[in-house]
Structure 1
């Protein structure tokens, strides 16, 4: 698997080192030349100096051949912009990190489905520890061809859940209304802006994305690829 990281912060480096150890190909985009020189002494991966939110920089890491683009810079705005640029360039999957929860709704509206809020994840983990709850790793539950898909309900989706006409092997399992969790009873009527979570077979992901996610303009580029090695 080939992954690209924007930003050489602690999360990026920790994740990159783990992936490298497992034999995956890693590229790190970082603006600070001194930081790159420091990391190149200890990491067996490729580095590219530049602003990861710039199209000309992202083109250099070969979007078509990259499995995941991690946008983990220190700036929420930079991560959102990089994610949108990356999507327009054809990256297969993009993970967007945001520190300020007020950007979460914007990310949903923009169709950035893999948005993470590190502080929230840590807070929930610590809260569960106090309550004596064992945290379950989703990777231990979502196996084989099972996948989660989330979408924000529009006006046309303001119907009882059973009328969503989901494909076979797909079920709405829960939804969030104004941030509050509710199980997806088939008779429950969705409202506009509800965030719906669907458990589905992987074969349905393309049709679900086609129905509920924005359709970005794909830039066609035959530019040559030039990865700057360490």
Structure 2
């Protein structure tokens, strides 16, 4: 894949290194050339110094043929502008932005942009640990973050069919893990002692 990364901070540089190790064509852009010092000596991609919202800079990065773009600068405004340009003008197939302010996530979704918010993810993971849940994973689908958590089946659920398990309106029993085997929670599947259930719920 040809991937453009905007921002060479801790996240951007790490992401670039991982993609480079896997053999992808990576171009990383940052306004400060010193940021590229965070890249691995084995990084095989291209570094570009310049303003990431400048279309000429993006063209030098090969945005016309890019398969994906990830904007991970510390500035939400830059991330949203770059993603808009990539999506609307250059028609990049996959565009994702990291945002710091959860209250602004709706702005990105309004423009049809996928986002990842470390603040929300951290809060949800910490909350899951405090209240005894575990293994929380987040996936953005459409304009909503979906949280997946895995937990030991409650004693009151044993012997019940999955369709008889009552959860809150924002949650859905997605799967059952039995003897380390993954099973979709299809109607008629009866829960047993030792099962673990995977619950999907909408993020805040």
Partner SS state of residue 48, structure 1: strand
Alpha-carbon distance between aligned partners in 2 of 1:94 and 1:102, rounded to the nearest angstrom:
20
Alpha-carbon distance between aligned partners in 1 of 2:40 and 2:19, rounded to the nearest angstrom:
16
In the TM superposition, what are the counterparts of 1:188-203 in structure 2 within 5 Å? none
Counterpart in the other structure of 1:130: 130
Counterpart in the other structure of 1:96: 97
The structure number with the bigger radius of gyration is: 2
How many aligned residue pairs are there? 148
* RMSD across aligned positions (CA): 2.6
Structure 1 stretches lacking a partner, 5+ long: 140-146, 152-179, 185-230
Alpha-carbon distance between aligned partners in 2 of 1:150 and 1:83, rounded to the nearest angstrom:
15
Alpha-carbon distance change, 57 to 40 in structure 1, aligned in 2, over 3 angstroms: farther
With normalisation by structure 1, the TM-score equals: 0.57
Runs of 4+ with deviation above 4 angstroms: 136-139
**Do 2:101 and 2:119's aligned partners in 1 also have CA atoms closer than 8 Å?**
no
Q: Is 2:142 aligned against 1:149?
A: yes
Alpha-carbon distance change, 7 to 98 in structure 1, aligned in 2, over 3 angstroms: same
Question: Which structure has the highest strand share of the two?
Answer: 2
Alpha-carbon distance between aligned partners in 1 of 2:43 and 2:99, rounded to the nearest angstrom:
26
Give the CA deviation at 1:42.
4.8
**Do 2:14 and 2:39's aligned partners in 1 also have CA atoms closer than 8 Å?**
no
Counterpart in the other structure of 1:47: 47
Alpha-carbon distance between aligned partners in 1 of 2:46 and 2:18, rounded to the nearest angstrom:
15
Counterpart in the other structure of 1:106: 107
Give the CA deviation at 1:26.
1.3
Structure 2 stretches lacking a partner, 5+ long: 145-167, 173-204
**Do 2:72 and 2:79's aligned partners in 1 also have CA atoms closer than 8 Å?**
yes
Give the CA deviation at 1:181.
6.5
Alpha-carbon distance between aligned partners in 2 of 1:24 and 1:137, rounded to the nearest angstrom:
25
Counterpart in the other structure of 2:62: 62
**Do 1:59 and 1:89's aligned partners in 2 also have CA atoms closer than 8 Å?**
no
Partner SS state of residue 70, structure 1: strand
Alpha-carbon distance change, 76 to 38 in structure 1, aligned in 2, over 3 angstroms: closer
Counterpart in the other structure of 1:18: 18
